[in-house]
Structure 1
Amino acid sequence: MQIRFLLALSLLPAFSHADLLDDTETGAQCSVEPPVAIPAAAVTPDSEQLEIRIESDSSDATMNQRAQFDGNVSFSQGSRRIAADKASVDYVEQRLDASGQLVFQDSMFTVTADALTARMQDNSATLSGASYWLHGQQVHGEAKRLEITPDNNLQLSRTSFTTCPPDNVSWMLEADRIKIDSKEEWGEIWNAKLRIADVPVFYIPYMTVPVSDKRKTGFLFPEFSTSTTNGLEFATPWYWNLAPEYDLTLTPHYMSSRGLFLKSEFRYLAGDAQAGQLNLEYLGNDHKLDGSPDRYLYHWQHQGALDTHWRVLANFTQVSDNNYFNDLKSEVARATDNQLSRIGEVSYFEQDWDISTRVQDIKVLGEEELPYRVMPQLNFNYRANDFWQNLDFGFNAEASNFQHQQDEMATANRLHLQPSVTWPIHGPAGFLSSELTLLQTNYWQHNLDRPENQDLDETVSRTIPRAKIHGQINFERNTSLFDSQMRQTLEPQFQYLYVGYEDQSHIGLYDTAQLQDDYYGLFRARRFSGWDRIADANQMTLGLTTRLFDEHNLEQMKFSFGQIFYFTDSKVALSEDLRQERPSASVLAAELDTRIYKDWFFSGAIQYDTHNGDTRKSEFTLDFRPEANKLVQFSYRYVPDLLNSNTNDRVDISQTGLRTTWPLRDDLYFVGNWYYDLKEARSVEAYTGFQYESCCWAVRLSYHYHIKTNYSDEFNPSIDEREQFERGIFLNFVIKGLGGSGPLGVSDMLDEGLFNYRKPLYLRN
């Protein structure tokens, strides 16, 4: 009987878990210790089978009737313990009474009470004048009366709880009654009153909270902000736990300058390995725009595995206008995202081969020219390693159907076959890989009666051979640098690439674009994405990488540079208008990641045109990172001759930036970002945020100033009619343990704004 009673008391920590404390980062620092010593947890087998030991200074028992224990009474079972000044057991009424400095403890929590009465026959108990603490955590509270019902539920009367230290109770929730259902794992609270600084600020006649990690329907913390474009903003998310496998979040978001913005997010699980979500957003009669148009978004994504072989993927997004993400705070994309992806894909995987089919449509916001749709595309890949005399064989086949929304555009069916044979040689000293590939592509092009399509051929068969030899040698030596023992590597590599030439001007451009140039791009076997253009090549790439490792074998520096040398000029361009004289060598691409000294790190990349003597692209960052939450980063980037999609002008980008996060005190953090356009001589973004975080609550106040990405659309045809810059003040507040999500965190503040923080290298501190 006593064993059942002790197990019933173990329901007490259920009230202390769940949403009462979500702070996993600072809980150890802010833990509230009970006023009595915590016994060491016993490492034992199943505690239900353990013997119960009763100790006391004196005892008096009548066989099968009554037992009385006095003086330092202790009931123990494994790691559980009840201590009291005196206790009695009535065997006739099956009742246990204990009083006088009563303490109940196990490895997870401590409860003190004035008195305890337990009816062992129906497994119920009552504690009066109870106080409870969760070991190693912040949650603690009091209850005038705590009852354990026969069905193992808990009822607390005239109770309170908080996550604040006892000597600094910033907030406390008081309630007339709390009922905790152990089976459903929900808590019901009646007449709840929230006190902040001992001042009642909020009254809730009835509310429910989870007492485990189960989700629960209810309001989430509201959000407040103000900005020059949206005015005063207030959002109150409502979470609806529909079923274990799906839920819904509804967010009314009021903007004084625009109106009521309604957002919804429906999430679901489809079996054990599939998941997805559906987002619907709607703003009726946007008062900020001419004509008060309706603005909306719908988004659906799904991915997962049907079984060990089949995979599915779907992603579809549609918005009402080009500036939707620039003006409204959507849950789907950021203001800097300008592409909407619509993809559906089904794949089947085996050990040596896989096959997939997909449809794809991409909408580029702010662009008048629409890209082609892939309706559909079928891919097949086969791999046979060491199929004969250490040779590897690979085969790729792709069949694509390209459609377009504009009737005057050409459409096409494309079949691309690519068999290849590779002879790989790998070893500690380096590698040498030789590859022969045949690129066979067939086109069937349609809608050629239009004048703009008359240069295209109805059918095309293109056969191009490709040969590639890629090798690298690894050298290393022990060296000493700044009185430290180092290991230095020297890794020269080369690649010879030959690609045959064929005139391709009679083929349309359906999914092909120029690839970016960087150090790793020097060793690509192609200049363009897609297969509409295959650039001929007769070239040699030379590259060199050197690394420094410390005595713990941690990389402290990596420097790479390389260049392509053309033996013959390439005759293939994206179009005849873009054909230009190519120099005898590519840009010289170099990258450096290094720890300069102790906590100082430098990262840089540059592409230098050795023919014209100018820089094509460069970016540099200098980091000072003495600790995990301390950062000062200086950055600079330069990109010349970049196309402005709004004006179709060529512009140079030259920007410098400063980003920092620093603790002003143990509980107060500062985060700041500032980016300046050297060409336009103006700030393009500034962010300042202060975050205060105590053991039981956190608040963040931030200011944001940034340039707006504006596109012309049907609502505002002229870009000049839209605000060029936006300013805003944001306030976030969390009460830990009362539905809050724990500490606000500093890392997400670094991601605020147009320019997200990127750790420039993977070198360890």
Structure 2
Amino acid sequence: MQIRYILALGLLPCQAMANDAVPEPAPDQCLVAPPIPLPSAPQSASAEEQVEIRSVSSDAVMNQNATFEGDVQFRQGNRSISADRANMDYEKQQLNAEGNLVFQDSQFTVTADNLSAKIKDNSATLNGAQYWLHGQQVHGNARKLEITKDNNLILSGTDFTTCPPGDSSWLLEAERIKIDSSEEWGEIWNAKMRIADIPVFYVPYMTVPVSDKRKTGFLFPQFSTSTTNGVEIATPWYWNIAPEYDLTLTPHYMSARGLYLQSEFRYLAGDAQAGRVNLEYLGSDRLLENSDDRYLYHWEHRGAIDKHWRVNAAFTDVSDNNYFNDLDSEVARATDNQLSRIGEMSYFENDWNISARVQDIKVLGEDEVPYQVMPQLSFNYRSQDLLNTLEFSFFGEATNFEHKEQDQVTATRLHLQPTLSLPIHGPAGSLTSELTLLQTNYWQRNTDLMPDSELNSSVSRTLPRAKVHGQINLERNTQWLGESYRQTLEPQVQYLYVGYEDQDDIGIYDSARLQDDYYGLFRARRFSGLDRISDANQLTLGLTTRFFDDRNQEQFKFSLGQILYFSESKVSLTEGIAEERPSSSAIAAELDAHLYEDWYFSGALQYDARTRDNKKSEFTLDYRPGGEKLVQFSYRYVPDLVNTNTNEEVGISQAGMRTTWPLTDSLYFVGNWYYDLNESRSVEAYTGFQYESCCWAVRLSYHYRIKTNYDDDFNPVQDNRELFESGVYLNFVIKGLGGSGPMGVSDMLDEGLFNYRKPLYLRN
């Protein structure tokens, strides 16, 4: 027989967390199995929730006490207690329970030998307790566990871990632990850390998180050794200044160089703006000939002031050209050689926007100094309902170019670009006609400093541009190797006409040659910027075909295109030198294919049929059989690159391999190797092993790579400066003590000079 009592009494404290939802559990192999949850009771809508008591039998004296026996269940809202026996003392407002005792609420689950709860002040004490924090993978034992009236936990003679039961990888023992449910942090007194049941260190006082909230304290150290920096030890310290501000200070000791100090200050400015400030300093670098000080400072800020205004700002400077090559900065990689300094503010409306920008670029390792944009004002307008289907757009830009060197020509440029377009779209294809007027005025200063040039102090350039682009979409059902597919055929054609004007009287301020590829065949210009607008009278032909399976997923895509020139272009970036323009461009082709089961191929080729030369090519072959399983072979070839420092023609011919593979459920391998066929040498090799369990993770990696060494007035390149660098790196994280550490292998694929090209196919 079950006996049921309904009592209008407060039993235990309410949940103090802001979110009552329990986070999703960890993977099955990492689950800590708490007692089976009791069925949830319907939530009462009244302000004072009732307490429901059930048992097999009971014996009660009105307003004095009640005794319950057999499958006793107390429930109030989302809090519940189950026990074999319980006694309620009405005069003392106290509940005692024992025998197979389980206490649960939305924050934690506790089993114990017995429980004593004081109903009046909403507190409870459990002896011989085992506890689990919901959603945090934290569990442990306690001689005594107290639940205070503020819903905090105080544990005496306790321990905890994030490892599954029976796994003694790590365990923290403590004399006393206090877990603040509102702050979501734990204070620990007289703590002893055991790893593999061996005591490794003692801490008289420490704090640890029991949620994702930030807390001031040391983060996990990092260890590595390399041929250039020697033994490295970094010990980050995090300062949670305020909800809107934090600071990370990292003393980074390198035995070969000295003490390298890094800091990062992050801030929020309102709901939609954020930024950071980085300061880095290495005093008296022992590997430099003059033992100079090295430094970096960086600031970036971006966001929205309101629904119309946007801001973006960034500034970076370093002491020398080889800073990123030698030091592991938080701001940029060794492959970055341009430091962009920019300040921009923009205003947006539905049909138009306006922006103001200043920009300066510092190029590391090159003598040439780019022009500064001081400032630039731009305006965009678009009307899509002008005379039914006719569209009108307008682009305007006013830019002032300055230079740090006084003997350089500077200029102010005004560019106006109205465009009328007539787009016609339908399921079978599209046809877009476009007519544009390009009006540009230059006012150039200091032209007398360059008497041998043709630069004029005032230049007006007016060019018409007409473009017609059409595309047809065809499709059919077909069979291939016994499989059904839907094939599309998408031919497209574009005619482009741009008028000619001699532009040798205009300096080069922000223009460069654009990259050629299949999609570049349909661009309306050959150069970036506005200093050179190439004349054109050409026809572009392109064709794309795709195969889709019965699930409408693309399995094959091939594109092929070429430009046919009706007349030679007379405009080039180099003054007075006409570039050779054949009657047709190189043939550009791109291919992406799911070859068979887990094999994928991707390639791009630019082939000059006239000279029978390969102008550029790159290919990748992927084997991706499942989650985080990858083997990729790659090759790239570019014959006509020029070294900007020596003006020598250099080419790239490199082959590489990259792989990641789970050796077991917890152990992963990642490796890559790239070989320079021109120089007959390896340029990079990386090998990494990562072991990750439920409660700790470790990564050991070896890296060998070529170093970029710039000539630098700060400290000239020395003969003993290494061309290659090798190093061993170790990362170790104990989960549940504030470590975040390596979690998966996708970031390992991005280690090194050559990143993985298609991380989209890795499923974490």
Question: Partner of 1:663 in structure 2?
Answer: 662
Question: Partner of 1:756 in structure 2?
Answer: 755
Closer/same/farther in 2, CA of residues 276 and 557 from structure 1, 3 Å limit: same
Cα offset for 1:386?
2.2
- 1:300 and 2:306 are equivalent in the alignment: no
Closer/same/farther in 2, CA of residues 42 and 97 from structure 1, 3 Å limit: closer
Q: Which runs of 5+ in 1 are unaligned?
A: none
Question: Partner of 1:6 in structure 2?
Answer: 12
Question: Partner of 2:83 in structure 1?
Answer: 84
Closer/same/farther in 2, CA of residues 357 and 315 from structure 1, 3 Å limit: same
Closer/same/farther in 2, CA of residues 169 and 481 from structure 1, 3 Å limit: same
In structure 2, C-alpha distance between the alignment counterparts of 1:180 and 1:661, rounded to whole Å: 40
In structure 2, C-alpha distance between the alignment counterparts of 1:190 and 1:255, rounded to whole Å: 34
In structure 1, C-alpha distance between the alignment counterparts of 2:699 and 2:742, rounded to whole Å: 10
- 1:519 and 2:518 are equivalent in the alignment: yes
Question: Partner of 1:335 in structure 2?
Answer: 334
In structure 2, C-alpha distance between the alignment counterparts of 1:678 and 1:43, rounded to whole Å: 71
Amino acid at match of 1:147: E
In structure 1, C-alpha distance between the alignment counterparts of 2:162 and 2:388, rounded to whole Å: 69
In structure 2, C-alpha distance between the alignment counterparts of 1:348 and 1:664, rounded to whole Å: 53
Tell me if structure 2 keeps the 8 A contact 1:40–1:79: no
Question: Partner of 1:31 in structure 2?
Answer: 31
Aligned residues: CA RMSD: 2.3
Closer/same/farther in 2, CA of residues 529 and 416 from structure 1, 3 Å limit: same
Question: Partner of 2:58 in structure 1?
Answer: 59
Amino acid at match of 1:461: S
Question: Partner of 1:139 in structure 2?
Answer: 138
In structure 1, C-alpha distance between the alignment counterparts of 2:558 and 2:89, rounded to whole Å: 81
Question: Partner of 1:714 in structure 2?
Answer: 713
Which stretch of the first structure deviates more once superposed, 66-75 or 563-572? 66-75
Tell me if structure 2 keeps the 8 A contact 1:112–1:131: yes
Deviations 1:402-433 (A, max 9, x none): 00011111000000000000000000001000
Closer/same/farther in 2, CA of residues 748 and 763 from structure 1, 3 Å limit: closer
Secondary structure (helix, strand or coil) at the match of 1:526 reads coil
Amino acid at match of 1:670: F
In structure 2, C-alpha distance between the alignment counterparts of 1:414 and 1:669, rounded to whole Å: 56
Tell me if structure 2 keeps the 8 A contact 1:437–1:466: yes
Question: Partner of 2:528 in structure 1?
Answer: 529
Question: Partner of 2:428 in structure 1?
Answer: 429
In structure 1, C-alpha distance between the alignment counterparts of 2:741 and 2:21, rounded to whole Å: 15
Tell me if structure 1 keeps the 8 A contact 2:698–2:742: no
In structure 2, C-alpha distance between the alignment counterparts of 1:760 and 1:92, rounded to whole Å: 67
Question: Partner of 2:4 in structure 1?
Answer: none
In structure 2, C-alpha distance between the alignment counterparts of 1:735 and 1:2, rounded to whole Å: 46
Percent sequence identity is 70
Cα offset for 1:25?
8.9
- 1:206 and 2:205 are equivalent in the alignment: yes
Question: Partner of 1:311 in structure 2?
Answer: 310
Cα offset for 1:579?
2.4
Question: Partner of 2:562 in structure 1?
Answer: 563
Amino acid at match of 1:585: S
Cα offset for 1:51?
4.0
In structure 1, C-alpha distance between the alignment counterparts of 2:638 and 2:103, rounded to whole Å: 68
Question: Partner of 2:469 in structure 1?
Answer: 470
Tell me if structure 2 keeps the 8 A contact 1:336–1:754: yes
Cα offset for 1:363?
0.7
Question: Partner of 1:461 in structure 2?
Answer: 460
Cα offset for 1:648?
2.6
Tell me if structure 2 keeps the 8 A contact 1:289–1:715: no
In structure 1, C-alpha distance between the alignment counterparts of 2:576 and 2:459, rounded to whole Å: 22
Tell me if structure 1 keeps the 8 A contact 2:414–2:440: yes
Cα offset for 1:43?
6.6
Cα offset for 1:362?
0.6
Closer/same/farther in 2, CA of residues 28 and 48 from structure 1, 3 Å limit: farther
Secondary structure (helix, strand or coil) at the match of 1:405 reads coil
Cα offset for 1:50?
5.3
- 1:703 and 2:717 are equivalent in the alignment: no
In structure 1, C-alpha distance between the alignment counterparts of 2:193 and 2:11, rounded to whole Å: 33
Question: Partner of 1:347 in structure 2?
Answer: 346
Cα offset for 1:588?
0.5
Deviations 1:20-63 (A, max 9, x none): x9xx79544310112x4333545756697654321223222111
- 1:153 and 2:152 are equivalent in the alignment: yes
Q: TM-score, normalized by length of structure 1?
A: 0.96
In structure 2, C-alpha distance between the alignment counterparts of 1:482 and 1:49, rounded to whole Å: 70
Pairs within 5 Å for 1:326-725: 326-451=325-450, 454-576=453-575, 578-718=577-717, 720-725=719-724
Matched pairs, number: 758
Question: Partner of 1:288 in structure 2?
Answer: 287
Closer/same/farther in 2, CA of residues 760 and 485 from structure 1, 3 Å limit: farther
In structure 2, C-alpha distance between the alignment counterparts of 1:573 and 1:75, rounded to whole Å: 86
Cα offset for 1:151?
3.2
Closer/same/farther in 2, CA of residues 659 and 133 from structure 1, 3 Å limit: same
Question: Partner of 1:731 in structure 2?
Answer: 730
Question: Partner of 2:188 in structure 1?
Answer: 189
In structure 2, C-alpha distance between the alignment counterparts of 1:198 and 1:231, rounded to whole Å: 33
Cα offset for 1:66?
1.3
Tell me if structure 2 keeps the 8 A contact 1:5–1:123: yes
Amino acid at match of 2:29: Q
In structure 1, C-alpha distance between the alignment counterparts of 2:289 and 2:353, rounded to whole Å: 52
Tell me if structure 1 keeps the 8 A contact 2:12–2:124: no
Amino acid at match of 1:430: G
Closer/same/farther in 2, CA of residues 96 and 33 from structure 1, 3 Å limit: same
Amino acid at match of 2:747: D
Amino acid at match of 1:258: R
Cα offset for 1:454?
4.3
Tell me if structure 1 keeps the 8 A contact 2:54–2:73: yes
In structure 1, C-alpha distance between the alignment counterparts of 2:110 and 2:319, rounded to whole Å: 58
Secondary structure (helix, strand or coil) at the match of 2:11 reads helix
Tell me: higher relative CO, structure 1 or 2? Use CA pairs within 8 A at least 6 residues apart. Answer: 1
Cα offset for 1:539?
0.2
Secondary structure (helix, strand or coil) at the match of 2:12 reads helix
In structure 1, C-alpha distance between the alignment counterparts of 2:208 and 2:229, rounded to whole Å: 34
Amino acid at match of 1:485: S
Q: TM-score, normalized by length of structure 2?
A: 0.96
In structure 2, C-alpha distance between the alignment counterparts of 1:595 and 1:526, rounded to whole Å: 34
In structure 2, C-alpha distance between the alignment counterparts of 1:618 and 1:346, rounded to whole Å: 40
Question: Partner of 1:276 in structure 2?
Answer: 275
Tell me if structure 2 keeps the 8 A contact 1:193–1:203: yes
Cα offset for 1:691?
0.8
Cα offset for 1:100?
2.0
Amino acid at match of 1:416: H
Secondary structure (helix, strand or coil) at the match of 2:385 reads strand
Secondary structure (helix, strand or coil) at the match of 1:6 reads coil
Amino acid at match of 2:221: P
Q: Which runs of 5+ in 2 are unaligned?
A: 1-6
Secondary structure (helix, strand or coil) at the match of 2:29 reads coil
In structure 2, C-alpha distance between the alignment counterparts of 1:308 and 1:135, rounded to whole Å: 40
Question: Partner of 1:220 in structure 2?
Answer: 219
Tell me if structure 2 keeps the 8 A contact 1:687–1:704: yes
Tell me if structure 2 keeps the 8 A contact 1:621–1:760: no
In structure 1, C-alpha distance between the alignment counterparts of 2:183 and 2:18, rounded to whole Å: 15
Tell me if structure 2 keeps the 8 A contact 1:40–1:107: no
In structure 1, C-alpha distance between the alignment counterparts of 2:441 and 2:20, rounded to whole Å: 68
Tell me if structure 2 keeps the 8 A contact 1:41–1:106: no
Cα offset for 1:241?
0.3
Amino acid at match of 2:628: N
Closer/same/farther in 2, CA of residues 67 and 389 from structure 1, 3 Å limit: closer
Amino acid at match of 1:286: D
Tell me if structure 1 keeps the 8 A contact 2:126–2:144: yes
Tell me if structure 2 keeps the 8 A contact 1:139–1:163: yes
In structure 1, C-alpha distance between the alignment counterparts of 2:145 and 2:459, rounded to whole Å: 84
Tell me if structure 2 keeps the 8 A contact 1:47–1:77: no
In structure 2, C-alpha distance between the alignment counterparts of 1:462 and 1:603, rounded to whole Å: 43
In structure 2, C-alpha distance between the alignment counterparts of 1:665 and 1:217, rounded to whole Å: 36
Question: Partner of 2:112 in structure 1?
Answer: 113
Deviations 1:213-236 (A, max 9, x none): 321000011000000000000000
Amino acid at match of 1:95: Q
